[in-house]
Amino acid sequence: MSRPLEAEQAVLGGLMLDPSAIVRVSDLLTAGDFQHKGHQLIFRAIKELFEAGSPYDAVTLGEWFESRGQSGAVQGGSYLIDLASGTPSAANIRAYAEIVAKVSETARVRSAGQRIALASTYAEGQALLADAAPRRSSALKSVKDGLGEMVESLQRRFDASGDVTGVPTGIASLDALTGGWQPGNLIIAAGRPGMGKSAFAVQAAIAAERALFVSLEMTAGELIERAVCNVGHIPNRWFRFPKEAPDHAMERIGEASKQVAGLRLSFDDSPSLNMDAIECVIRQAHMADPLRLIVVDHLGIIGREGKHDASELGAITARMKRLAKEIAPVLLLCQLNRGLESRTDKRPMLSDLRDSGRIEEDADMVIGMYRESYYAEHKDPDADYLELLIRKNRSGEQATAWALARLGEMRLESADEPVRHVAANEGGGGFAAYSGKGNQPRNGPRASSGYRHAAGGGV
């Protein structure tokens, strides 16, 4: 007799000997997992009797089958007695159930493979493969399990170099507040167009060392162009107007391109991807080379088949959160609607997120991106500060990280907070680069309005 069949017999016999053992296998098995047809019937009967609060030993099971005219399926009840008497105890029932589940999984995968070969569409093939997914195992954990995870997390943070305990964000000031992107986290980065979301996302992907960038808005070539600018401190204008670039431009671009070629970045720039396709792309990329960060640009243009309502967005962010827990932190970009433009203070708030309740609920962190200079009549490229407003932080404080936006080179430089002061000789407002810890600007007060670049902090 084969080992899988013996495992099925041991599970059923164990249940008849110890009815309480059903709670140890019911999360792992369904009737369809049993390969023997008679065993499927017996397990289904046991489940029905259990749910009705009735006993299910060999005698009561025999009566159950007889009352339904199915006693022949269990050889008049003698087979049930043989199962119970042939099983010494239910002590190892979980191990036997795992064997049954594994055999069932193998059978489902092989069957799915045969049907996928005949499928006519990608969606049909994906649905068939999903049917072969492993059954959910027990998710209950004891206090001891939780303490073990806590100690493991604490040890990881203790062993981390510097203050970054997760995946580096690419901006030192943001790392100082968050410790980096933490395992299992869904991070929403939200802002109006022109705030620097793409530069932020590319820089984060580079810093992660191994990242997948799913872009529904830009091509892989455009993203690589931004990465080359970021790494080589190269003006993006050289790409847009190459005839105007200086003689050494191609040499600089070539050197930066060699650095970018060594990065472990993957891109998918397929347009109009829906969440099913995005999840498939992410899982395939992770199987090929484990990911440290997933970047998706952006939430608003992920394909949806319904009415584009809150429930659909909520379903997307819920699945993104699940991928973050199973694979790697997810940085999900979100474009805010133009409603905030009517406010005097245009800094993003949680309420600016479309259908914000559900998005906010799923996100572990929400970062609003704001550049005051974007709205200024006279722009100073040396004083173009980006505020990274942490509006929600499930595991830490709500605060603001600062960066100098060098968007002409598609990069962000970590910076100290510029603190407003009133110049004594003009009575007007202005900004100077403070450390944030003292009462005086490090470089002295400035007579004219504007920003002074805070020294320190790198990408």
- Cis preceding linkage at 298, omega within 30: yes
Instruction: Give the dihedral sign, CA 32/33/37/41.
Output: negative
Dihedral angle, C-alpha 247, 251, 256, 259, nearest 10 °: 180
Catalytic residue among 66, 105, 217, 312: 217
Closest to 279 in 3D by CA, of 333, 308, 309, 315: 315
- Within its chain, how far is the Cα of 221 from the centroid? 24
| 8-state DSSP, 361 | H
Other residues' Cβ atoms within 10 Å of the Cβ of residue 287: 10
Strands 411-415 and 418-422: unpaired
H helical segments located in 68-215:
78-85, 93-116, 122-131, 143-159, 172-178, 197-208
Amino acid (one-letter) located at 279? E
Is the separation of the CB atoms in 380 and 451 below 8 Å? Answer: yes
Is the separation of the CB atoms in 219 and 271 below 8 Å? Answer: no
In sequence order, what are the beta bridge partners of 10? none
Is the separation of the CB atoms in 39 and 82 below 8 Å? Answer: no
Other residues' Cβ atoms within 10 Å of the Cβ of residue 177: 18
Q: Which residues contact 380 (CB under 8 A, 6 or more apart)?
A: 373, 450, 451
Closest to 388 in 3D by CA, of 116, 178, 133: 178
Whether 217 is catalytic: yes
Residues in the chain: 459
**String of b and e for 45-57 (b: at least 16 CB within 10 Å)?**
bbbebbeeeeebe
Active site residues: 217
